[in-house]
Structure 1
Amino acid sequence: MKEMKHDKKRKCYTLIRVLGITALALLMLVSITGAEPFAYITNYQSDTVSIIDTDTGTVTATVPVRDEPLGVAVTPDEKKVYVTHSWSLNIVSVIDTETDRVIATVNVGDDPWGVAVSPDGTKVYVANRNSNSISVIDTITSKVTTNIYVGKWPQGVAVTPDGAHVYVINFGSDTVSIINTSSNTVATNVKVGSHPQGVAVTPNGENVFVTNSNSNSVSVIDTTTNTVTTTVSVGDWPSGVAVSPDGKKAYIANRNSNNVSVIDTATNKVIIDVFVGDGPWGVTVTPNGSQVYVANQFSNTISVIDTATNTVTGTVNVGSEPIAFGLFMGTLSDASNQNTKTIDANTRNSPLTAPSGFNYLILAAMTLLYLWNKSV
């Protein structure tokens, strides 16, 4: 009888140990997954960058930068953020996301606007509006390696998923210059609408969406033929553009009509206009595709759109005149690549989202509990 009691105790201790190991495994799994990336918002008038935790929809830090920050791009590993300063400074600031501080500034061309990072994170492409050029920055040395001359007043810039081409929007010549990245030369120019500004490439690299601000339209370019295959009418003065991670939707920020046009990329038709704040400009979709962040320049806010309902579900107050022209959010969504942002989330005391593996761990624990009860 005594021995049976001891045996039960041993089994109980074994169960506790197993559950403890299970809990530890859960914590380890949470530590490498979960957090959505941070949004980096350039505030043009307050000379700052607001950092928003997209898990909680709150500003976790504000980084002081130089005058008139406008364009913004995040490296694929989410370790650095590149910010352009328009008009007089002609520089790009480099922010370290671990410390949320500017660690370098790079001299580029005259009046830098748009900025984009290559998929491998080795190069940054900066559109210099008054120099009619693209500066190519080496991300390791933080130095310009070459300047590529394009059309008149380049503004938006985007890199294809394979890194082979850069699409540059020439506001003054109503064209898109397509750069071959292996030779750093312009391969061809494509005529689009009046005063094009924003640009986004679909995840599969097959199409490019270009906002034509003075035509109130979006040109869709087939990257195989580099021709405009269709033109979509949208709101007044379309500026920023972003494509969902699954490639099924394109989101267009219309500055003068204060709304976002949602385009179904299968039909290239607007399915709804979502009204946001005053003067929407920059727009980006979260990596899981559940939300769209829109920078409202004249409301000093960020509107958060739920993509399932196409309604604004949150508003975040930021600095003065947020523009956030470019891909202002990281694109990490694979659990194996989440280490960097999770460290950042812990540093800023952000809650983590429980991973999908949690359900499997709970099921394993319940199974062990059942087997233990059967054996007693």
Structure 2
Amino acid sequence: MADEAALPEPSIALDDRKPGSMAIDPETHTIYVVTRRGVGGDSTIDVVDPARGDVAATIPSVTNASAVAIAPDRHELYVANYALRTVSVVDTRTRAVTATIPVGKEPWAVRADPSAPTLYVMTGDEFTVIDADRRVVTSNFRIDNEFPEISRGFAVIAGRLYVPIPIAGEHDWVGGKVAVVDIATGGVITEITVGRSPDLVLDPAGPTIYVVNRYDETISVIDPATGTVTGPYPVDFEGGGDSAIDPARQTLYITNFSSDTVSEIDLESMELVRTHRVGDAPRSPVVDPATHHVYTSDSHSHSISVIEPAEAPH
């Protein structure tokens, strides 16, 4: 039976700032979080020092941020600016914007390829590929996805893009699939059937893709090497939202927006082992691979919750 925390996890206060997307630098343990001040205010990037438990700085010249990604080896932070239809490049050592790249449409999500100087930007049902060295767009391609705002998680593995796509009926979600896209051509290679309202997260140690079927409260597992899927495995994670993985601990964390909790799932047994109480409306979890601390962006309580590991890694 899963444990449930009696008290909320500790948190880092952000005062009047409402947090959104987050990224963590595994070398400096610094958190970069999109924050918005007030209703309809501009969003920017706050730099959070978890050791001190406060905001260390705010990155200037970034005022329309919607999502962030980091490339620690390049010392660069990438910021998707929704209203401006651009991606900003920030030097994490100086916290200065070094480039601004137009992407044509409003960007919702951004990923940095850990094995190449390449960025992948989700702009609705389209994807933009950026050469991070030259700071230019190299290609665009469209994926048939009627509800791109529902599932913004995607993964890049060996020249292929894995995109979760929900399937809607007249009144409800009726299914889901993961489109496997050849990045070089932009063509869909295959589609893998999963559960309803899927989102996904990549375990780079495999690599393995875990699909969180939020409407079914199940998890499907995709082996990118073979294209096979196992599951779905039933896990009671209270609806589910965004996800993050601690590869060393083989643990999956799923934020539950409506219940203000985080579900901790053991990936070896595929069982829920603990439910953590966090701030209001948690999303965008990130894991520090060195300390194994998990941080969630609690948008309604204007804070970042801190989950400490209860046990040693597997």
Deviation, structure 1 residue 148: 2.2
Q: Does 1:159 pair with 2:156? A: yes
In structure 2, the gaps of 5 or more residues are: 1-25, 169-175
Deviation, structure 1 residue 194: 2.7
Tell me if structure 1 keeps the 8 A contact 2:142–2:186.
Answer: no
Amino acid at match of 1:93: S
> Map of 1:150-299 to 2, 5 A cutoff?
150-152=143-145, 153-154=147-148, 155-160=152-157, 163-171=158-166, 174-197=176-199, 199-231=200-232, 232-246=234-248, 248-299=250-301
Match of 2:77 among 67, 76, 81: 81
| 1:62-82 Cα deviation digits (max 9, x unpaired) | 124555522211014151111
Amino acid at match of 1:165: R
1:63 aligns with 59
1:136 aligns with 129
Inter-CA distance 115–38: structure 2 relative to 1 (3 Å threshold): same
Deviation, structure 1 residue 51: 1.1
Deviation, structure 1 residue 171: 4.6
| 1:41-97 Cα deviation digits (max 9, x unpaired) | 1114551111122444332111245555222110141511112233x4322222121
Deviation, structure 1 residue 109: 4.7
Amino acid at match of 1:240: D
Amino acid at match of 2:190: T
Give TM-score, length-normalised by structure 2: 0.77
In structure 1, the gaps of 5 or more residues are: 1-33, 311-376
2:31 aligns with 39
Deviation, structure 1 residue 246: 1.3
Q: Does 1:118 pair with 2:113? A: yes
Q: What is the CA RMSD across the aligned residues, in angstroms?
A: 2.6
Inter-CA distance 112–218: structure 2 relative to 1 (3 Å threshold): farther
CA distance in 2, matches of 1:215, 1:107: 38
Amino acid at match of 2:44: T
SS in 1 for 2:153: strand
1:335 aligns with none
The structure richer in helix per residue is 1
Inter-CA distance 47–191: structure 2 relative to 1 (3 Å threshold): same
Deviation, structure 1 residue 189: 1.9
Percent identity among equivalent residues?
Answer: 32
Deviation, structure 1 residue 300: 1.3
SS in 2 for 1:77: helix
Deviation, structure 1 residue 120: 2.7
Q: Does 1:104 pair with 2:96? A: no
Tell me if structure 1 keeps the 8 A contact 2:65–2:79.
Answer: yes
Deviation, structure 1 residue 183: 4.6
Question: Number of paired residues?
Answer: 271
Tell me if structure 2 keeps the 8 A contact 1:125–1:157.
Answer: no
Amino acid at match of 2:29: P
2:5 aligns with none
The structure richer in strand per residue is 2
Inter-CA distance 164–55: structure 2 relative to 1 (3 Å threshold): farther
Inter-CA distance 85–211: structure 2 relative to 1 (3 Å threshold): farther
Tell me if structure 1 keeps the 8 A contact 2:235–2:270.
Answer: no
